[in-house]
């Protein structure tokens, strides 16, 4: 193959040499390097054609960026400077098409005035990273699927439904990165909506403690979603420390399940794991037994005598006056 290409090139140069020799008026033979230079010029694409080829590709992103700026202005009320600064933070121009569809969807959701701009100011990356269709599904999820008291729901939607949807998506992506499917992550949030109110760092810390320290799999959150709603420092960690101490001394007869950490009340957990072992009381969070004894006696012994009303002796004059008063009432 290489020999054939070399032979064709030699024939082409020979033909070009004969053509130039016929046109040349001098007797000196042409330089082979000059022949190669002429060949490159003849076979190189023209600059005008290259410019015509690249011109539509250069104008298309500019037109797309202008359309996105118009959408950001019409839907969120951003100025051209704010829109340009926001678009510069995007990963690649290939996301412009998805972003355009997303903004068109947000414009059709009939949100309150200024809600999209507030969501962009709060978490622009979280909102603009959504795929078309996600805002509608998350808003419907927050409206219909949350199983909580009205006070909790009002707290979730206090800063706007769109910001709540972005916050919910952050938690869903966090749980999905830990191994849950997005469907199961939404089930967890539906059963424990307080996780949407708590900071993302708090939710991440709880999941990390569940998987890394306690040794449970993340799928247990689907069955016990209230783990994300309780206080980690005051509820979970003291119980885990008690269980670890009993396990180290061989005091556990049966295996400790997730329900013992989450669903047992404080008194029931105390009676089951702490009360039989006095050394666990400080681990559990103080001398619980002494506090229970102090509940029965609220005041020191003998203090009740100070609250007894004073007795006054009745004289004969007071008795006569009382009889006259009672007689006048008849």
pLDDT digits (tens, 9 = 90+) for 145-202: 998 899 999 999 999 999 999 999 999 999 999 999 999 999 999 999 999 999 999 9
- In the numeric block, which tokens belong to residue 132? 């078309």
Q: Is 156 in contact with 197 (CB distance < 8 Å)? A: yes
Q: Encoding tokens for residue 242?
A: 């008690």
pLDDT for position 29: 55
Q: Which residue ranges of the chain lie beneath pLDDT 70?
A: 1-63, 90-94, 286-310, 312
Asked if residue 101 is part of any domain, the answer here is yes
Which of the 8 DSSP states describes residue 297? -
User: Quick check: is 320 in a domain?
Assistant: no
Model pLDDT, residue 50: 41
Residue 279 is predicted with a pLDDT of 86
Any domain includes 249: yes
Domain boundary among the residues 123, 142, 159 is at 123
Domain-embedded: residue 156: no
- Mutual angle of helices 96-107 and 47-76, in 10-degree steps: 30
What is the chain's percent helix, strand, coil content, to nearest 5? 70, 0, 30
Q: Looking at the domain assignment, is residue 117 inside a domain?
A: yes
User: Last residue of a domain, which of 123, 154, 169?
Assistant: 123
- pLDDT value at position 31? 60
313 in a structural domain? no
Helix or strand or coil: residue 328? helix
Q: Are 38 and 19 in contact (CB under 8 A)?
A: no
Q: Does any domain span residue 329?
A: no
pLDDT for the residue 225: 95
pLDDT of residue 35: 54
Question: Distance (Å, rounded) from C-alpha 221 to C-alpha 218?
Answer: 6
Which pLDDT score is estimated for 99? 85
Element (H, E) at 295: helix 288-296
pTM, two decimal places: 0.65
Look at residue 166 in the predicted model and tell me its pLDDT. Answer: 95
Indicate the number of domains in the chain: 2
DSSP states along 53-102:
HHHHHHHHHHHHHHHHHHHHHHHH---HHHHHHHHHTSS-GGGHHHHHHH
Residue 217 lies in a domain: no
Tens digits of per-residue pLDDT, 263-279?
Answer: 999 999 999 999 888 88
pLDDT the model gives residue 19: 52
**CA neighbours closer than 13 Å in the CB half-sphere of residue 60:** 9
What is the extent of the structural domain holding 77?
68-123
Q: What is the 3-state secondary structure (H, E, C) of 156-195?
A: HCCCCHHHHHHHHHHHHHHHHHCCCCHHHHHHHHHHCCHH
């Amino acid at each position: 193959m290489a020999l054939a290409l070399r032979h064709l090139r030699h024939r082409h140069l020979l033909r070009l040499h004969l053509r130039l020799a016929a046109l040349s008026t001098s007797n000196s033979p042409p330089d082979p390097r000059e022949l190669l230079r002429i060949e490159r010029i003849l076979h190189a694409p023209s600059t005008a054609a290259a410019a015509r080829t690249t011109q539509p590709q250069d104008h298309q992103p500019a037109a797309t960026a202008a359309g996105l700026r118009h959408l950001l202005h019409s839907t969120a009320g951003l100025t051209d400077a704010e829109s340009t600064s926001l678009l510069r933070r995007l990963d690649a121009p290939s996301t412009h098409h998805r972003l355009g569809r997303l903004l068109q969807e947000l414009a059709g959701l009939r949100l309150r005035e200024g809600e999209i701009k507030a969501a962009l100011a709060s978490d622009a990356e979280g909102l603009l990273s959504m795929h078309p269709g996600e805002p509608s599904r998350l808003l419907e999820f927050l409206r219909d699927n949350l199983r909580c008291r009205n006070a909790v729901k009002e707290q979730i939607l206090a800063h706007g439904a769109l910001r709540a949807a972005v916050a919910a998506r952050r938690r869903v992506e966090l749980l999905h990165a830990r191994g849950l499917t997005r469907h199961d992550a939404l089930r967890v949030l539906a059963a424990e909506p307080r996780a949407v109110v708590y900071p993302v760092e708090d939710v991440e810390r709880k999941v990390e403690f569940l998987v890394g320290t306690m040794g449970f799999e993340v799928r247990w959150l689907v069955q016990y979603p209230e783990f994300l709603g309780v206080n980690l420092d005051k509820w979970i960690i003291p119980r885990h420390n008690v269980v670890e101490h009993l396990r180290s001394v061989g005091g556990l007869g049966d295996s400790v399940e997730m329900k013992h950490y989450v669903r047992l009340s404080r008194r029931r957990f105390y009676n089951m794991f702490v009360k039989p072992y006095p050394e666990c009381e400080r681990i559990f969070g103080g001398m619980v037994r002494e506090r229970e004894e102090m509940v029965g006696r609220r005041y020191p012994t003998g203090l009740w005598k100070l609250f007894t009303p004073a007795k006054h002796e009745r004289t004969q004059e007071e008795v006569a006056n009382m009889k006259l008063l009672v007689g006048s009432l008849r």
